[in-house]
Amino acid sequence: MATSTYHPSVFSFAPGGVFPSDGVYTPTLEDQRDTEDVIAELLRAVSPAKVASEPATHDGTTTLRKNETVQFMGQHLFQCSAGYTPLDASKPWLMFWILHSLDLLAVALDDATKKRAVATLLSFKLPHGGFAGGAANTQIAHLLPTYAAVMALAISGGPDEGFGWDELAASRQDIYNFFMRMKRPDGGFSVCVGGEKDVRGTYCLLVVATVLDILTPELLHNVDKHIAGCQTYEGGFASDKWTFGGATTGPSASFAEAHGGYTSCALLAYFLLDSVQSASEPLPSLEPGFPAPIDVDSAVRWSALMQGNSYELGGFRGRTNKLVDGCYSWWVGGGFPVLEELVRKGNESKPEVESDAKVTVMDGDDGDWVDVAGSQGLFNRVALQEYVLLAGQVDEGKGGGLRDKPGKRPDLYHTANDLAGLSIAQHHVKHSPLLVEKNRGLFDASKGFPPVKPTTPGGGWKSEAERQRARREVFANALGWTEEKGELIVVGGDASRVVSRVCCCAKLTLRHRTPPHPCSTPWASACARLSTTSTSSRRRG
């Protein structure tokens, strides 16, 4: 059985009952009951997995079947089935999900395959800025495919000729102009010409703007207020905010209910905004108080409550009273490192209060209950891994890939997000103030790109010195993530271990042309290579 002091296995709890109906039966309740039934059946059919702490050497009965997953993703890299036809306008996403998954599995592509992927991605780039979801001569630029394409290029590309980064760097001004065309007065962004406005677009834009070093005051104006306005009474974030009376400023409310995907985008975007300037050295080009505050404690509470009970196998749901789904392993689980950092920053501004608070847990040796110091864990890392490994994986020998839940088919989207959530659950990633300070000292203002031209008078930084201060903070914070030593928790042992997200983050420093940090996991030295022979005339990547 998986055992961890603060992260108990779902097998350690008594079986749960059906979600209370109060005598009113609805389709939602019936779906919940069906989900609980299929998970209960699954738990009866499998043996509990073991937890292996660092170094991960113990074998578990339930493991991540990496070879099958690699084969599943590798096949789709060269040809997608007819079932993906509805995603014809999401081709960069198909490539990102595949490349991102292989990256988490520490699979190295040969240069020929990388160049082929880069060439395909660059075919989606439009001359007037941004990337389309398909061929550039048939579709329009869109913020979401732009994010997917740039991230896929960050994974598969490089600074050498033919690997795409030079072409991406040459498009910085065009991409910036596209971003400014999408900007709305309230601080939000339309995802495309005539498209919807929501925090997905905000997050995708800010990530690309950060990586390509095109952040400016005019681009950031009111973005923080728009994100803060999307937070709901529950604590999570909705897609957008609504300003009463149709004005761009004034009283507003969140546009809909809190959702895991929107909350993830909002929190991660907020972290990027919070990384532009240091609290001790505000930038004069940004408004006082930037970024506008959000209710961090409320966001922590909502996120923690999204994790399901033992009879839901510890998976995450995306909305209150909805079903657990493997993709929220990332959309909700991936937000906790940022939440921990925001909590830490908030506590810095509060007076210290000594506390002898204890948490009572069951000791793993003799089964006695003992008092220990309070844990900082915000979610059950073991239970989430059990959901991905038990509910997320298809049966052995059935073709590989990961899914929403038992009874669903595996797909590229869920495989990528399930693996990302598994990484978050295995590795305790945190933002280190010491590492941030060290990075500030390593920053070299002579490296990188020239400033982009603002689209409005006075829209740029007030001075080159101020721009370099912003660049230094972004650089220091983006590379300020580290993995807590001794806090690795792997259900199933080495066979289940995936790459830490910290290793992937280092690849997104295009603007300084620095090589990626070497991955610290054992899998980095045992990277597999995909065969390029599985091709046909109809290719997706």
Domain that holds residue 418: 34-78+88-348+376-509
* Residue found by looking up tokens 């059946």 in the block: 41
Q: What DSSP string runs through 23-92?
A: T---HHHHHHHHHHHHHHHHHHHSPPPPEEESS-----SS---HHHHHHHHHHHHH---GGGGGGGGGHH
- Say if 12 falls within a structural domain: no
Positions of the chain with pLDDT lower than 70, given as ranges: 1-6, 14-19, 48-61, 246-249, 351-376, 501-541
Indicate if the alpha-carbon torsion angle 431, 435, 440, 442 is positive or negative: negative
What does the block give as tokens for 158? 């490089």
- Say if 6 falls within a structural domain: no
Q: How far apart are CA 102 and CA 155, in angstroms?
A: 10
Interaxial angle between packed helices 464-478 and 433-442, expressed in degrees from 0 to 180 and rounded to the nearest 10: 130
* Domain total of the chain: 1
Q: How far apart are CA 268 and CA 337, in angstroms?
A: 10
Q: How far apart are CA 366 and CA 6, in angstroms?
A: 16
Sequence length of the chain is: 541
H helix intervals, 194-257: 199-211, 217-220, 223-229
Q: For 115-183, give the secondary structure using H, E and C.
A: HHHHHHHHCCECCCCCEECCCCCCCCECHHHHHHHHHHHHHHCECCCCCEHHHHHHCHHHHHHHHHHHE
- Element at 362 (helix H, strand E): strand 358-362
CATH number, domain of 499, equals: 1.50.10.20
Long-range contacts of 5-8 (CB under 8 A, 24+ apart): 5/361, 5/364, 5/372, 5/375, 6/359, 6/361, 6/375, 6/377, 7/377, 7/380, 7/381, 7/382, 7/383, 7/489, 8/362, 8/380, 8/382, 8/383
- 252's CB contacts (< 8 A; 6+ apart) are 229, 241, 242, 243, 244
- Say if 262 falls within a structural domain: yes
pLDDT, tens digit (0-9, with 9 covering 90-100), for 375-425: 458 999 999 999 999 999 998 889 999 999 999 999 999 999 999 999 999
Residues linked to residue 52 through DSSP beta bridges, in sequence order: 490
- Element at 243 (helix H, strand E): strand 241-243
- 315's CB contacts (< 8 A; 6+ apart) are 307, 308, 324, 325, 326, 328, 329, 384, 387, 391, 405
* Residue found by looking up tokens 């999401």 in the block: 90
Q: How far apart are CA 450 and CA 67, in angstroms?
A: 44
- Say if 467 falls within a structural domain: yes
- Say if 441 falls within a structural domain: yes
Compute CA 71 distance to the chain's CA centroid, rounded to the nearest angstrom. 23
- Say if 7 falls within a structural domain: no
Beta-carbon-side half-sphere exposure of residue 69 (alpha carbons within 13 Å): 33
CB 143 within 8 A of CB 130: yes
Is the N-terminal amide bond of 288 cis, ω within 30° of 0? no
Q: What DSSP string runs through 435-471?
A: HHHHHHHH--TTSS-PPPPPSSTT-S-SSHHHHHHHH
Q: How far apart are CA 498 and CA 523, in angstroms?
A: 8
CB 163 within 8 A of CB 507: no
- Say if 342 falls within a structural domain: yes
Q: What is the mean pLDDT of the chain?
A: 86
- Say if 19 falls within a structural domain: no
The pLDDT, as a whole number, for residue 518 is: 31
Q: What DSSP string runs through 491-529?
A: ETGGGG----HHHHHGGG-GGGTPPPPPP-SGGGGG---
The pLDDT, as a whole number, for residue 7 is: 76
Q: Which residue in 122, 108, 110, 191 sits closest to 152, CA to CA? A: 122
